[in-house]
Amino acid sequence: MTNKGVSGRTILCMYSGGIDSTGVLHQLLTDEMYKNIKLIVHHIHIVNRENRARAEAQAVSSILKYYKDNKDNLFSSFLYTESIFNTTGFAPLGSNRFPFDMDVCAFYAGNICAAREDINYVAMGRTKTDLEGTDQSFSLRMDRAQKIFKSVLSLEKRDSLPEYIFPMVSYSKKQIWNLLPKQVRGNTWWCRRPVYLEDRTIPCGKCETCQTVKGFVKQEPEF
């Protein structure tokens, strides 16, 4: 995405509170390239057997508070919205399968864009780490998510439809981590299976994402 035509546009940022999407949010708010955009930040409380919705909600709340409290240093303000997607009712099916986050985000993003015709772009957290990974299924899942997004909008009659953008695609997870302000960094969430203690929430240290970040994350979220 180039500087040309960005100012004055409306961007929908699908925000989870994780490292990747927090990098996207930070970029949209602090990079002059996105000066004077209209920004909608949407968080989906994805409630499933991984039980991470509460940890993600805590991250989102803390991080958005930081940006609201430091708005004088930002190029743009934002409107925050949220929704809930609950698949705990799948349990009686006796299956370990549940919808991918990408698919859920694509479906909700498409419907938000249908409701708000002024949205030009949907910002998502694809990174250099994702593209350099050896897991080919990631690209296949991204392609499917794009199809879901376009399918939701297929009946919309407009001159041009919104498109996905990836503001942090040239950054690795480690680079995003180092880019973020310390207070923001300390409140991001990455673990797929959080451990809820009496007074705090900590990462499991064993899931795939915990393994990915263990080389550069030296602290626990400040919840």
**Contact of 148 with 189, CB cutoff 8 Å:** no
Tens-of-pLDDT digits for all 223 residues of the chain?
A: 444 456 679 999 999 999 999 999 999 999 999 988 999 999 999 999 999 999 999 999 999 999 999 998 898 899 999 999 999 988 888 877 889 999 999 999 999 999 999 999 999 998 887 877 666 788 888 899 999 999 999 999 888 889 999 999 999 999 999 999 999 999 999 999 999 999 899 999 999 899 989 989 875 454 4
Place of tokens 């919808």: 99
The contacts of residue 201 (CB under 8 Å, 6+ apart) are 54, 55, 58, 194, 195, 221, 223
| pLDDT one-digit tens code per residue, 94-113 | 877 889 999 999 999 999 99
In 10 A of CB 93, how many CB atoms? Answer: 10
> What domains are defined for the chain?
10-190 (3.40.50.620)
**Contact of 206 with 212, CB cutoff 8 Å:** no
Burial label, 124 (beta-carbon count in 10 A; 0-12, 13-18, 19+): buried
pLDDT confidence of residue 73:
85
Q: Find, among 211, 14, 214, 223, the residue nearest to 123 by Cα.
A: 14
Place of tokens 């694509």: 106
Q: Which amino acid is at 199?
A: D
Q: CA–CA separation, 9 vs 163, rounded Å? A: 12
pLDDT confidence of residue 3:
42
pLDDT confidence of residue 7:
65
Reading the block at residue 29, the tokens are: 């708010």
Burial label, 137 (beta-carbon count in 10 A; 0-12, 13-18, 19+): exposed
pLDDT confidence of residue 219:
54
pLDDT confidence of residue 131:
78
Q: CA–CA separation, 76 vs 138, rounded Å? A: 31
Q: CA–CA separation, 223 vs 212, rounded Å? A: 21
Q: Which amino acid is at 67?
A: Y
Element containing residue 146 per DSSP (H, E)? helix 136-152
Q: What pTM did the predictor assign?
A: 0.91
Instruction: Look at the alpha carbons of 52, 112, 151, 6 in this order and tell me if their dihedral is positive or negative.
Output: negative
pLDDT confidence of residue 36:
85
Q: CA–CA separation, 19 vs 29, rounded Å? A: 15
